[in-house]
Structure formats: C-alpha cells, structure tokens
Amino acid sequence: MKCVIEGNGVKVFGKAVHALSRIGDEIWLDPLEKGLAVRTVSSSQSACACFSFTPLFFQQYIPDPDIQKGCEAVKCKLNMKCVLPLFRCASWRERSVDRCEITINIPNSRVIFQFHCRHGTTKIYNLGYQECEALHAVFPAHLCPNVLMAQSKLLGDIVVHFPVSQEEVTLCISSFKVTLKSFCEEENNCIKGMNTELMLHPDEFDCFQVGEDSAVTFCLKELRGLLSFAESYGLPVSSQFGVAGQPVSFTVKDMTLEAHVVLSTLTDPNLESPSQPAPGGVDEQILALVKHNSTLAVRIKVVFDLSLQTSSFEVRSSKAEEPKEQMWAPSPCQKQKTQTALTPASRKQPPVQ
Amino acid sequence: MPLSTQSQADIDQYILIASLDNARNLSNILKAISFRDHAIFSATQNGLKVTVEDSKCLQANAFIQADIFQEYIIKEDTVGFQVNLTVLLDCLTIFGGSTVPGVCTALRMCYNGYGYPLTMFLEEGGVVTVCKINTQEPEEPIDFDFCSTNVTNKVILQSDSLKEAFSELDMTSAVLQITMSPSHPYFRLSTFGNSGNAHYDYPKDSDMMELFQCTKIQTNRYKMSLLKPSTKALALSCKVSVRTDSRGFLSLQYLVRNDDGQICFVEYYCCPDEEVEEE
C-alpha cells in the first residue's frame, strides 16, 4: 500500500490518530479498494473505532501495488505508542509539514512514514508491524430504532460539563426529551461525588428519531476523541442505538472520510434474556438473582474464597444498611456484561441515604 | 559600576579579574556545558575558556572573549584552575531568576592564583554577596587533535531545523548516526529505537543549510547519552557547524548570542561509537 497526504490532510490524519489513541493501544491499517481504514479496539474489547479515508482524501492512493502478482493488500497492526509521537505537536507540524507518504513495505515488514517538511527537510520513520486479520465491529446500524444527529459544537458544549474523570454516562431517550447524565456504579459514589444531568429538547437535534424509549450507558472517555475530532472540523455527529445492552454507534462523515466509534453498553437487568451471551454459568446466576429482585435497585456482593476457589453471591436490597466492607469490583470486561444498572422504574426513586 | 568598595591593594593581589554587568551572559553559556560537576577554567589574554569532559569521549568548551567582559584584567599568560561548575552556577544565580526587566546581577570574578579560592562578588539591587569557591589543580583537557586540515565533511545549519530534530529524537536508541555525503542523503541523522528507525534528512540546497562541504560519504555513530547534553547548547544557539574528520570524530560548534547580542561560542567534541563501514 502506498498513499500520499498533502498539507492540511496530514493534520486531519494526525487528529484521527489522536482520537484513536483515546481508545486503543494498537492501530490497524487496512488498505481497501474503497479507501484506507485505520482502526483500533480497546483492550477490554468494549469499544471499537474506525476512520475510513476515501481515495479523495489522498493526493495519491494505491492500495496494493502488487495486485498483478496476485498478492493481497496486507493488513498490519502497529503499536500506538510508536505512531502517536509522529503526529504530535500539531501546531508546528501544520506549519512545517508539506506532505506525508505512508507506505507498507512487505519484504522488510515495515510501515514507512515519510514527512516532507519546509526547507526541504525530510523525516523518515520505519516502523515494524505485525501482520494481522482485519478488525471489524459487527454492528447493523440500519436496524437501530433510535437515531440522533447533532452538531459537534452542541455535543462539545454538553460533554464539557462532565468531569474528565467521569467514566460512564447514561443517554436516555423518549419521544419528548433526551437526557444525558453521569452514571455511578455504586450509590455511595453518587452521594459523595458530583453528578451531572442535562436534558435536551428534540428540536436541538438535526435528526431525532425515537423507535423505542431506552436508556443506554456507555463509556464517555472513549467517545471524547471522536467528539474533539468532529469539533475541530465542525462536522455533525450522528448516533444510532437501541436498548440497553445493545451497542451504541457514533458516526462522523465528510466527503473524504468517515469515522465510526462503536461502544458496548451496560445490560439492563429487566430484560427477559440477556442481549449479549454471558460467558459461563456465573453471569447467568447473577442475572437470575437480579431478575428475582428486579423491582428494587439491588447491589450484588461477590465474595471470592481463594483457598477453596469458590465464589458466593449475596444480594442486598438498596434499603438495607450499608455494608462496612469494601465491595469487590469485577474486572472491566465482566462489568460490561453483568453489572446492574438502575432499572427504568427505579430511576425515579430518590437517591438512597 | 558595582563593587567599587574594594581597595587598590585587594585588586593588586589578583592575577585575574573579570567583570560583567549581567552575570547571565556567563551563566547561560555555562549552563549549556554543565553536564558534569567539574569544569576546567583556562584564561588567556583572549578571554575565558571553560572545559567540561565526560568519560574521555566527550568534551565541551565554552569561549567567552575578553571583549564580552566590561572589565578583563589578566596578569599572567595563562591562568588555569578547576572548580565545581554546579556550585559556580548556583552562585551566579544566587539572586534567583530575575524577571524584572532591567534588573540583573552584576559579577566580578577574581582569582589570586594557585591555591587560592575563586572569589565572586555578585550584586543586585544594592545587595552584595561574596562567594568563595575552592579551586583544584586543573586537569589537562583531552586534546582531540581535531584540526581543520583533517576535516573531511563540514556543514553549517541554522539551529532551528536541528532543534526540531533533536527534540524528537527517539531516546530508546542507544546511538545517533550521522551520515554526511556529497550525494543523497547529504546530511542525515538516524536513530535505531524500539519502535523502528527514524531518519532526518537535510538536503544541501535547503534554506537552512548555510554551508555544505562534503568530500566523501561518511557514516558515524555516536552514543546518544553523550550527545544529549549538546541539546542545551543547541537550544541557545542560532547556528551550528557540524564537522567530522578522517577518524570519524565529531565537532559541533554552536554560535550563541547572549542577552546583549554579543557572540560567544560553544563547541562539543565526541568520539565515534564504533567502526562503521563506509557505504
């Protein structure tokens, strides 16, 4: 693969790499006939992002120079830590970089980034890569009942109210309003920290389509990269989602590029069957317990007895006294699938004392 | 004029007196070579030369000509001593960094001779500090035997272009490789780090290239840890000359303008890391 990016495009590409670096530690380069796809996935596999650059974006785009020899275009994976510094210091780079050439050199297993700068200076970086399979997030966006589209400036103004440390937020949609609020795993934290809730009228959106009232909880941190990219270029952001447990997708489109971020959401314990298959018997047990107590906001305490290698579960009602011991936090991967979320009915309850 | 309280008798005993209205004109340039604790001072009629060395492979020299000083009196042909450079710099900046324009520290540096401490009188805003730093027997600086006749390749660049490259150098690389050639790539800096190779090329017809004299292709590697301190001198300078000789020894000469626009020089000599076959 060989491509050449002119002047301002280098800055755009750099910002795209920055946005991807907020999600994953590795960057996939996938040269396709329809353009270059640059992807990443988070370490917990709960978020996947892809920037697709059409051939229009490049001054020159050759996905596979050896197509006559019957070789397939190679897909490669690079360490984000190696690629990100090349596109750092955007402010002076935009002044000094005239052109950037990216080449995948198969015989030497190297991706070559060549920056042609002012005054004739050239910077050449030969980075080692790992050959890999293409990375895809299977997400049928057209099947999503809910679609929102808003200007990036609006979204930027909204997320600025959430502290940078805020991991997850809940997006609730109904036919008469949209709410975005901070999500806390444990009710203790809700009381101690600052919670933010913003309500938006459907008129504020360029596109507002509600197929099904729902509340989806996803990681805001992983989305911030895409939002700041969209804001830099004043592009609208559209979002497709369904009910809790189904992934939410955010898209930014332009003539020359398309960016998607797909995030997993927390499951809603009220569902009859979990929308995501649970790995093994443990999660099914928890869900069964939660279903039984679904009318109350519940907390699940998991106790691991390492010597016996068993685990037991204790379900407490939120109205019970606060347990003195610390709660064990499940691993980030499991959390996505098994953690409780406040049920729609209990959202209206006052915070637990 | 600072420090006129000294008597004539005091002045007579000193074999070296150097005064500056702005001590920063000395401290800034000495910071550019302060990668080790000890420095060898060598004063002649022409001015002051300060030398710092590292592991017999690297030598840095700062030259402050006599006419930079407001007062420069030397009573012997050469005066040499060794002092702790870190302590000296702490004394020169004893009044802290002055951010008020027009206010600066004045310096009078005096030396009685062998066995005596280096005496420094520093004054700012009417407050006078006297510092006496013990001196040591000056070590003989290494003679890198780098003379103009042996120089095979020489380029002079504007510092701005190199500043960018040096600030981005891959620090996971143990060496910095410098290639100089009469044909492409002309002047190339290369690193070999954990993530891969990086090359910075400067063509001979670049705006930044003021002089380009390369007679034959030469590639030499230098330990990154040795060259890293030179970044300080590069940051202060406006022009840099890079020369290599037939043995692969490297000479970096930096042209530094001080606060008053006067010119001083800093130079670094470095031994090559290993024999590299010439391409």
Domain assignment present for residue B142? The answer is no
Between the CA of residue A37 and those of A11, A45, A52, A127, A142, what are the distances in Å? Answer: 17, 18, 4, 18, 21
Cis before residue A344, ω within 30 degrees of 0?
Answer: no
pTM (two decimals): 0.75
Tell me what the mean pLDDT of segment A111-139 comes to.
85
Q: Are residues B102 and B202 in the same domain?
A: no
B chain contacts of residue A110, beta-carbon cutoff 8 Å? 196
Window from A128-142, A149-163, B199-213 with minimum mean pLDDT: A128-142
Task: Give the N- to C-terminal CA distance of chain B in Å, as an integer.
Answer: 59
User: Coil, strand, or helix at residue A192?
Assistant: helix
Best of A88, A119, A126 to disrupt the B interface (most B CBs within 10 Å) is: A119
- B interface with A, Cβ–Cβ < 8 A, is 161, 164-165, 168, 195-203, 205-208
Tell me what the mean pLDDT of segment B126-142 comes to.
92
A110 close to B (CB below 8 A): yes
Q: What token pair was written down for B183?
A: 């044909």
Q: Which residues contact B62 (CB under 8 A, 6 or more apart)?
A: B29, B30, B32, B33, B49, B50, B264, B265, B266
pLDDT-based confidence at A331, cuts 50/70/90? very low
Of B81, B109, B136, which residue is a domain's last?
B136
Q: Are residues B53 and B122 in the same domain?
A: yes
Burial (CB count within 10 angstroms: exposed 0-12, middle 13-18, buried 19+), residue B103: exposed
Burial (CB count within 10 angstroms: exposed 0-12, middle 13-18, buried 19+), residue A138: exposed
Between the CA of residue A332 and those of A43, A167, A169, A183, A346, what are the distances in Å? Answer: 10, 12, 16, 15, 24
A80 close to B (CB below 8 A): no
Quick: pLDDT tens for B213-244: 998 999 999 999 999 899 999 999 999 999 99
Q: Are residues B117 and B158 in the same domain?
A: no
Q: B201 to chain A nearest CA, in Å?
A: 5
Compare CB distances from B198 to A79, A119, A125 and report the shortest one's residue.
A125
Task: Please determine, for residue A295, whether its predicted confidence score (pLDDT) is greater than 80.
Answer: no
Compare CB distances from B198 to A119, A124, A128 and report the shortest one's residue.
A124
Quick: pLDDT tens for A251-272: 999 999 999 999 998 886 554 3
Domain assignment present for residue B226? The answer is yes
The ipTM value here is: 0.82
Nearest Cα residue in chain A from B191: A125
Residue B217's domain comprises 151-270
Domain assignment present for residue B19? The answer is yes
Total domain count, chain B: 2
Tell me what the mean pLDDT of segment B86-93 comes to.
93
Q: Are residues B219 and B120 in the same domain?
A: no
Window from A10-14, A199-203, A235-239, A327-331 with minimum mean pLDDT: A327-331
Residue contacts between A and B (CB atoms, under 8 Å): 52
Q: Are residues B131 and B156 in the same domain?
A: no
Best of B164, B170, B204 to disrupt the A interface (most A CBs within 10 Å) is: B164
Do A125 and B196 count as a contact with CB atoms less than 8 A apart?
A: yes
Domain assignment present for residue B3? The answer is no
Domain assignment present for residue B143? The answer is no
Q: Are residues B246 and B195 in the same domain?
A: yes
Domain assignment present for residue B275? The answer is no
Domain assignment present for residue B224? The answer is yes
Tell me what the mean pLDDT of segment B257-276 comes to.
87
Q: Which residues contact A309 (CB under 8 A, 6 or more apart)?
A: none
Helix, strand, coil shares of chain B, percent, nearest 5, are 20, 45, 40
- Which residue's entry shows tokens 């189904």? A246
CA B279/CA B260 separation, integer angstroms: 45
- CATH, residue B23: 3.70.10.10
Q: B129 to chain A nearest CA, in Å?
A: 43
Domain assignment present for residue B276? The answer is no
